[in-house]
Amino acid sequence: MSEQPATADHARQQLEPAAADGLRAYAAKARANADQFAAVLEDIAENGLPAVEDCTPWEDLREAHLARLAAQRPAVA
């Protein structure tokens, strides 16, 4: 993506204020997630991988995530 504004020959459609606010909130969350991920990678680079005993198996993480998704989704009759 470009950091430069659009040129005059390509007019940009403006967003509604609520849509722009929602997009900014999404960008802030994405930035926070990226920062958290980068911090984990930096920690691994600095200190090495954690001990296996200190880790959560990916299957447990998957099941917990699927349970969260199912709780968010309305039941279908």
> In 23-32, which positions are buried (b, 16+ CB within 10 angstroms) versus exposed (e)?
eeeeeeeeee
Judged by DSSP in three states, 1 sits in: coil
Report the C-alpha gap between 72 and 68 in whole angstroms. Answer: 6
Query: Residue 8 — very low, low, confident or very high, per pLDDT cuts 50/70/90?
Result: low
Q: How far is CA 72 from CA 25, 35, 66, in A?
A: 20, 26, 10
Report the C-alpha gap between 23 and 45 in whole angstroms. Answer: 33
pTM assigned to the model = 0.58
pLDDT digits (tens, 9 = 90+) for 27-49: 999 999 999 999 999 999 999 99
Structure tokens belonging to residue 52: 């296996």
pLDDT digits (tens, 9 = 90+) for 43-72: 999 999 999 999 999 999 999 999 999 998
